[in-house]
Structure 1
């Protein structure tokens, strides 16, 4: 399940499978041409995907993006594409 909470200065994105729990977490801040990112809660396997989502959204909105992911199994490439497309549709509205 993908949930996006939109704020004036940023977004909170939660990606969960099964129970809704906070999992691995990354925060990015987009300011001008640069994006700064920090890992708050490390991920065992999805760290690159989390960072990519967070930085992309932060740069698009020129604000803060917090992304949390909690899945029961590792995501495959197709799953990542579907999730990314779903998030982009929500954010661009």
Structure 2
């Protein structure tokens, strides 16, 4: 399930599979064409995907993106593409 909570200065994005839980957590800040990212709760396997989505959202909205991912198994490339497109469609 993809959930996005919009704020004036950013978005909280949560992607969950099964029970709704806070999972791996990444925070990105986009300002003036630059993006800075910090991993708050690390993941063993999905860190690159999380950072990529979070940074893209932060840069697009020129604000803050807090992104949580709680899934039961690793994402495949096709699933990553679908999720990225879905998130970007929602925030535009």
TM-score bucket (shorter structure): over 0.9
**Secondary structure, counterpart of 1:40 in structure 2:** strand
Q: Deviation of residue 62 (structure 1)? A: 0.4
Please tell me the root mean square deviation across aligned C-alpha atoms, in Å. 0.5
Aligned residue-pair number: 92
**Secondary structure, counterpart of 1:26 in structure 2:** strand
Q: Which residue of structure 1 aligns with residue 34 of structure 2?
A: 34
Query: TM-score, length-normalised on structure 2?
Result: 0.98
Give the whole-Å Cα distance in 2 for the aligned partners of 1:47 and 1:8: 26
Query: TM-score, length-normalised on structure 1?
Result: 0.97
Q: Which residue of structure 2 aligns with residue 3 of structure 1?
A: 3
Q: Which residue of structure 2 aligns with residue 25 of structure 1?
A: 25
Give the whole-Å Cα distance in 1 for the aligned partners of 2:77 and 2:14: 18
Structure 2 unpaired stretches of 5+ = none
After the TM superposition, list the runs of 4 or more consecutive aligned residues in structure 1 that deviate by more than 3 angstroms.
Answer: none
Q: Deviation of residue 36 (structure 1)? A: 0.5
Q: Deviation of residue 44 (structure 1)? A: 1.2
Give the whole-Å Cα distance in 1 for the aligned partners of 2:84 and 2:36: 20
Structure 1 unpaired stretches of 5+ = none
